[in-house]
Homo-oligomer: A and B are copies of this chain.
Amino acid sequence: MFSKTCEYAIRAILFIAQKSKQGVKVSIKDVAKGIDSPEFFLGKILQELSRKGIVKSLKGPTGGFYLDDESMQYSLADVVIAIDGDKIFNGCGLGLKQCSEKQPCPIHKEFKKIRSDIFKLLENSKLGEFNDLLDKRLAVLKR
C-alpha cells in the first residue's frame, strides 16, 4: 500500500505528535527506538518531512523534533503525499498512465471508490488525533 519509507514516516510523526503533546522534543534516536525503525534511515525521512514543514526541528542540545499546534493540524494524507506522492490517491490501479473516465482500465470505477475511501480516511486523520489512544496504549507504533 505505502512504501516502507512512508510507513516509517507515519509512525514517526505519530510518535512525535504524542511526545509533543507532552511538551517534549525527541531526537532521531528516540523516535527510532519508539517506532522500531533503522535510525539513520529515519533521519533522512524526518529531514524530508522537516523540509516540507510537516515536522519542526531544532539543532543542538535540547534540540530535536516536535510538532507545534499548526503542524498538529496536518493529516496523515499530507504525510503520505509528502513521502509517496499522490499516486495512491490518483494513480490507476493497473498502472495505466492515461487511465480516465473516458479511457478507463477494467476496474477503474471500483478502484476510484477504494482510492477515495483511503484518501478520506487519511485526510480525516489529523496528526494530533491519536495521542490519547497511544497514551492509553490502546494502539502501538512498534512491532
Per the bound structure, the CA–CA distance linking A96 and B96 in Å amounts to: 30
Residue A141 lies at the interface, judged by CB distance under 8 Å to chain B: yes
Stretch at the interface among A45-53, A66-74, A104-112: A104-112
Q: How many interface residues does A have (CB within 8 Å)? A: 40
1/0 contact string of A30-65 vs chain B (CB within 8 Å): 000000000000000000000000000000000000
Residue A81 lies at the interface, judged by CB distance under 8 Å to chain B: no
Cβ contact of A95, chosen from B7, B95, B140, cutoff 8 A? B7
Instruction: Give the number of copies in the complex.
Output: 2
How many whole Å from A142's CB to the nearest CB in chain B? 7
Chain B residues whose C-beta falls within 8 Å of the C-beta of A114 in the assembled complex: 114, 117-118, 121
Apart from A1-B1, A1-B91, A110-B125: 6 A-B pairs, beta carbons within 8 A: A1-B88, A11-B105, A94-B141, A96-B140, A103-B143, A113-B117
A residues contacting B by CB (< 8 A) are 1-2, 4, 7-8, 10-11, 14, 76, 88, 91, 93-98, 103-108, 110-111, 113-114, 117-118, 121, 125, 130, 133-134, 138-143
Pairs A–B under 8 Å by Cβ, sample size 24: A1-B1, A2-B93, A2-B94, A7-B93, A7-B95, A76-B107, A96-B140, A96-B141, A96-B142, A96-B143, A97-B143, A98-B143, A103-B140, A104-B138, A104-B139, A105-B141, A106-B130, A107-B125, A108-B139, A110-B125, A113-B117, A114-B117, A114-B121, A117-B117
